[in-house]
Amino acid sequence: MHQPDIHQPDMHQPGAPQPGAPQEWPPPASGPEEPPEAGQARADALDEAWNSLPSGVGAVAYRPVPPPPPAPEPFALPEPVPETAPVPHAPVPESAPVLAPAPVPAAEGAPAGEPTPPGVAAEAVRAPVAVPLLGPPRHSGPKPPLYAPHPGTLPSVRDDLDGAVVADIVVDGATHGALTVRAASIRGDSHRYEGGPRQDALCVTRLGGPDPTNGLLLLTVADGVGSAARSHIGSHEVSRSVALFLDRYAEQLAESLRAREEPTFSALVNSAVGSAAEGLARSVAERGGHPADHATTLRGLLVPLDPQVRHRGFFAVGDGGGALLREGVWTVDVFGEGQGGSGVIDTGTEALPGSRFARSLIYGPALPGDLLVLCTDGLSTPLAGDPGMRDFLAGAWGSAEVPGPVDFLWQLQYRVKSYDDDRTAVCLWEGPEE
């Protein structure tokens, strides 16, 4: 690469600086003094020659040196703490007494002499509250039945999903004006022991729109036939289907009860029962099942919400019960079905979907203080046959105060030997006229 010629002084020429000799800076000028313009032109020529050099070849690129960092400020030492004389300790006696911690006062109501547990504030410790327990259900006779009076073995999801998800116990209720409802369905002792599902079903619902003069309570119980393997499905499906059908005709049903027109009422409830039976048979067939395996009874009560209407509509397919408790006296066959007085278990009965017609009637007038009971034969049969059960339930349900749902469930579980079927009841308390 071409380097520009830069004149270097000849060390052998006269006047040239000699090695080792002291140098004067700037060197003295030789020859005549040149004008300033000539010196400036020569300096510009040197600058131009320097700038023409390639970067990094024979030259070092200029980088400005950063200024040095500012010197840190001197560290201020804290002022020395003045020395003080040591504080003399109090003399300790040779045999100083050891003080025990003060006892925590016992909480109010706590047993005397028992210390407060460590880590628990004294005010947080309380004596156990005495909670009354209902205990096992009452029973007829000197000894209870052999079956345990509580939920037992559960059905398996793997064996029968539909049966496994049916609850062992169901409790329900409602209050509309002077009407109060309590309802419960309990898996029978034999089903609990064998691990079978509860086959009974119940329904407590409201039909109609917001106008109470045309609204109705629908109360139903359904008893899946024990010999039908899928009757627990049939009882629940029929209860839903009947409610859905009757809701579409709530206004006509309310008017038929207000006017006590039994033909109109009978036609409407029979249409509902027939539709439910047909729908159950069709859905079972579509699933590849047998309708007879889903056999179930059904009975219902339609109660107007209008307090001026004191008549109630009743319908039923198959066995079961309808009872009245009035002024402490039981009528165990209030609807005149001819099946509530013997207390004998009947294994043969009409059932949906094979039977598609219901017995129906308009009952009334209901009086203030009346108790109407709609139930499956798990209650109707022992109620008719055991005086001890009648007396117990008359005392529990015959007072002016309606039992709460938990008390009602406990009372309904009154036990009688040899009656181990599912038990379902819907009870309607008639309040005073408004």
Average pLDDT in the 15-31 region? 52
β-sheet bridge partners, residue 201: 222
Is the predicted pLDDT of residue 53 greater than 50, yes or no?
Answer: yes
Tell me, what's the pLDDT at 80?
A: 53
Is the predicted pLDDT of residue 82 greater than 60, yes or no?
Answer: no
- % of the chain with per-residue pLDDT over 90: 64
* Rounded Cα gap, residues 217 and 208, in angstroms: 9
* Rounded Cα gap, residues 234 and 223, in angstroms: 9
Distances (CA, A) of 78 to 6, 75, 81, 82, 351: 65, 9, 9, 12, 102
Tell me, what's the pLDDT at 98?
A: 46
Is the predicted pLDDT of residue 28 greater than 60, yes or no?
Answer: no
Is the predicted pLDDT of residue 20 greater than 60, yes or no?
Answer: no
Q: Flag the least confident range among 90-94, 109-113, 427-431.
A: 90-94
Is the predicted pLDDT of residue 243 greater than 70, yes or no?
Answer: yes
Between 85 and 289, the more confident residue is: 289
Between 316 and 80, the more confident residue is: 316
Tell me, what's the pLDDT at 112?
A: 53
Average pLDDT in the 97-122 region? 53
Tokens 């036990």 appear where? 415
Between 139 and 20, the more confident residue is: 139
Tell me, what's the pLDDT at 27?
A: 52
Quickly state the pLDDT bin for 380 (edges 50, 70, 90): very high
Is the predicted pLDDT of residue 114 greater than 50, yes or no?
Answer: yes
At 269 the three-state DSSP class reads: helix
Between 155 and 37, the more confident residue is: 155
Contacts 24+ apart (CB under 8 A), 132-135: 134/406, 134/407, 134/410
Is the predicted pLDDT of residue 215 greater than 70, yes or no?
Answer: yes
Between 66 and 27, the more confident residue is: 66
pLDDT tens figures, 316-342: 999 999 999 999 999 999 999 986 545
Token couple for 114: 């028992």
Average pLDDT in the 212-223 region? 95
Is the predicted pLDDT of residue 59 greater than 70, yes or no?
Answer: no
Average pLDDT in the 286-304 region? 97
Average pLDDT in the 157-170 region? 96
Is the predicted pLDDT of residue 290 greater than 70, yes or no?
Answer: yes
Closest among 235, 240, 232 to 159, alpha carbons compared: 232
Average pLDDT in the 141-169 region? 94
Is the predicted pLDDT of residue 123 greater than 70, yes or no?
Answer: no
Quickly state the pLDDT bin for 96 (edges 50, 70, 90): very low
Name the average pLDDT for the chain.
83
Token couple for 69: 């960092």
Cα 260 from chain centroid (whole Å): 44
Tell me, what's the pLDDT at 400?
A: 83
Average pLDDT in the 153-163 region? 95
∠ Cα 312 172 230 (to 5°) = 90
Quickly state the pLDDT bin for 212 (edges 50, 70, 90): confident
Tell me, what's the pLDDT at 95?
A: 46
Quickly state the pLDDT bin for 228 (edges 50, 70, 90): very high
Average pLDDT in the 42-70 region? 59
Length of the chain (residues): 434
